[in-house]
């Protein structure tokens, strides 16, 4: 009997898996995708910029939600937004010096305010005292520095009159109930918002030349949430690919079950330990300097230089990218703490970036020596040993016998002699200077056999 049932269902299973395997938006091959993603996989390090009206209250980019502000209450920020010190060229130079090869700016965040000149709304930067299209200035300045440009665009919109109120909305009910939502959403029409969103993304991808990345944020499917049907994700993604065939898109459109619905995963604010589990996937971790994305004056949990370096190295040593966020002030500058963090990264990257660009995790045959992290460049076949604790005098590479041709410091190409009679049959021992070089985490470059 059981056998019979199984046999009956077999063709059905076949059809289901066939349909599933066919769930695609386009017809790009795996090899074409790899090629499209190549620069991004190589470059590893980008700058995220969260900038909007929320820089004025300066207490988190979710302030409108946290304090349940209405549009009227939030309007005071729109009326005075005037970043008099904004200089897109200065930002671009800063990003470049820090070794960041791409940058992603919030064109609109959840608050619904547009940092660009959109013809579909009046709620935009050109109608504030700033009177300029800041997205345009960003694009031009970063491109001029040779930095790839991307837009963050919030799927959520806490200002648009047709965007229905959900559990993340500032005007959400105190207690979730169907009747409360029905009452609040009377007269709101998501179909209209969906069209608005589609039109705005179309604008962003047609008015500013070649856009390298689109970072859409975010889906939260559920009874009082929003997902692909609300955004019209399938049609939107097709339009994105049509307008900018080379663009790279994140994974927050709720299209995970489409074979080509996601270009990269986005583990957000995760610990360095957690990054290990992303090995083998295509991913970028986004991280803040402190706890908030938008400028937050009184947020004081700033990461140290060593923590930031560790994030960058650990990302690459697990085969991923790091998108490090700056939340500029309402006057249009990087806050002094962000600025000095970027300077310290510049110092390290100037001399050590070869262990970042084009690198990934080391082949399994190389053991990770104590207090180090490894990265590896599969093209040049060089292995990079990041020294978290400096080993004065000598340093042992366990199990590396016969694998190393030459060793040097990465920052100055100065030789680190291999001790000929040390290490037995297994290990390689390097002669190290007593004094640690002037980097928090110095790097040894190994030229392999």
> Which stretches of the chain bind ligand GLC, using CB under 6 A?
50, 61-62, 217-218, 268, 286, 293
Q: Compute the least distance from the CB of residue 279 to ligand GLC, in Å.
A: 21
Residue number with CB closer to ligand GLC (43 or 250): 250
Residue number with CB closer to ligand GLC (62 or 181): 62
Q: Compute the least distance from the CB of residue 108 to ligand GLC, in Å.
A: 11
Residue number with CB closer to ligand GLC (267 or 332): 267
Residue number with CB closer to ligand GLC (63 or 345): 63
Residue number with CB closer to ligand GLC (245 or 291): 291
Q: Compute the least distance from the CB of residue 157 to ligand GLC, in Å.
A: 13
Contacts of 240 (CB under 8 A, 6+ apart): 201, 205, 214, 247, 249
Q: Compute the least distance from the CB of residue 294 to ligand GLC, in Å.
A: 7
Q: Compute the least distance from the CB of residue 154 to ligand GLC, in Å.
A: 7
Residue number with CB closer to ligand GLC (69 or 397): 69
Reduce the secondary structure of the chain to three states and give it as a string.
Answer: CHHHHHHHHHHHHHHHHHHHHCCCCCCCCHHHHHHHCHHHHHHCEEEEECCCHHHCCCECCCHHHHCCCCHHHHHHHHHHCCCCCCCHHHHHHHHHHCCCCEEEEEEECCCCCECCCCCCCCCEHHHCCCCCCHHHHHHHHHHHCCCEEEEEEECCCCCCCCCCCCCCCCCCCCCCCHHHHHHHCCCCCHHHHHHHHHHHHHHHHHHCCCCCEEEEECCECCCCCECHHHHCHHHHHHHHHHHCCCCEECCCCCCCCCCCCCCCECCECCCCCHHHHHCCCCEEEEEECCCCCCCECCCCCCCCHHHHHHHHHHHHHCCCEEEEEECCCCCCCCCHHHHHHHHHHHHHHHHHHHHCCCCECCCCCCCCCCCEEEEEECCCCEEEEEECCCCCEEEEECCCCCCEEEEEECCCCCECCECCCCCCCCCEEEEECCCCCCCCCCEEEEEEC
Q: Compute the least distance from the CB of residue 142 to ligand GLC, in Å.
A: 19
Q: Compute the least distance from the CB of residue 110 to ligand GLC, in Å.
A: 6
Q: Compute the least distance from the CB of residue 441 to ligand GLC, in Å.
A: 26
Q: Compute the least distance from the CB of residue 166 to ligand GLC, in Å.
A: 13
Residue number with CB closer to ligand GLC (211 or 323): 323
Residue number with CB closer to ligand GLC (152 or 384): 152
Residue number with CB closer to ligand GLC (60 or 194): 60
Starting from the edge strand earliest in sequence, which strands make up the sheet with 45-49, in order? 248-249, 213-217, 148-154, 102-108, 45-49, 321-326, 284-288
């Amino acid at each position: 009997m059981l056998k019979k049932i199984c046999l009956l269902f077999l063709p059905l299973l076949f059809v289901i898996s066939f349909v599933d395997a066919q769930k695609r938006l386009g017809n790009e091959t795996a090899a074409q995708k790899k090629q499209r993603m190549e620069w991004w996989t190589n470059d590893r390090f980008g700058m995220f910029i969260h900038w909007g009206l929320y820089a004025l209250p300066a207490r988190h980019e979710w302030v409108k939600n946290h304090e349940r502000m209405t549009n009227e209450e939030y309007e005071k920020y729109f009326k005075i937004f005037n970043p008099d010190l904004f200089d897109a060229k200065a930002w671009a130079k800063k990003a470049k010096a820090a070794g960041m090869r791409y940058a992603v700016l919030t064109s609109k965040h959840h608050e619904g305010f547009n940092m660009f000149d959109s013809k579909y709304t009046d709620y935009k930067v050109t109608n504030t005292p700033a009177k300029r299209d800041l997205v345009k200035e960003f694009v031009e300045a970063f491109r001029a520095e040779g930095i790839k440009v991307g837009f963050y665009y919030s799927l959520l919109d806490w200002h648009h009159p047709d965007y229905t109120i959900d559990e993340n909305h500032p005007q959400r009910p105190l207690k979730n109930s169907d009747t409360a939502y029905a009452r609040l959403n009377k007269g709101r029409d998501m179909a209209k918002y969906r069209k608005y969103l589609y039109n705005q993304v179309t604008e962003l991808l047609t008015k500013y030349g070649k856009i390298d990345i689109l970072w859409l944020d975010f889906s939260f499917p559920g009874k009082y949430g929003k997902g692909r049907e609300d955004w019209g994700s399938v049609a939107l993604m097709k339009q994105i690919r049509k307008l900018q065939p080379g663009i790279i898109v994140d994974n927050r459109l709720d299209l995970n079950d489409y074979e080509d619905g996601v270009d990269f995963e986005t583990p957000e604010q995760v610990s360095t330990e957690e990054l290990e589990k992303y090995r083998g996937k295509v991913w970028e971790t986004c991280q803040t300097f402190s706890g908030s994305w938008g400028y937050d004056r009184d947020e004081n949990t700033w990461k140290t230089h060593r923590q930031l370096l560790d994030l960058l190295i650990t990302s690459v040593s697990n085969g991923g990218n790091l998108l490090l966020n700056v939340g500029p002030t309402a006057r249009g500058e990087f806050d002094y703490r962000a600025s000095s963090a970027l300077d310290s990264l510049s110092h390290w990257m100037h001399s050590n970036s070869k262990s970042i660009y084009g690198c990934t995790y080391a082949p399994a045959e190389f053991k990770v020596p104590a207090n180090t992290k490894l990265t590896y460049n599969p093209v040049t076949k060089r292995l990079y040993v990041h020294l978290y604790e400096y080993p004065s005098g000598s340093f042992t590479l366990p199990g590396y016998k016969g694998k190393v041709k030459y060793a040097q410091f990465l920052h100055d190409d100065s030789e680190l002699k291999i001790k000929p009679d040390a290490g037995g049959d297994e290990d390689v021992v390097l002669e190290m200077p007593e004094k640690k070089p002037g980097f928090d985490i110095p790097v040894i470059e190994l030229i392999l056999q």
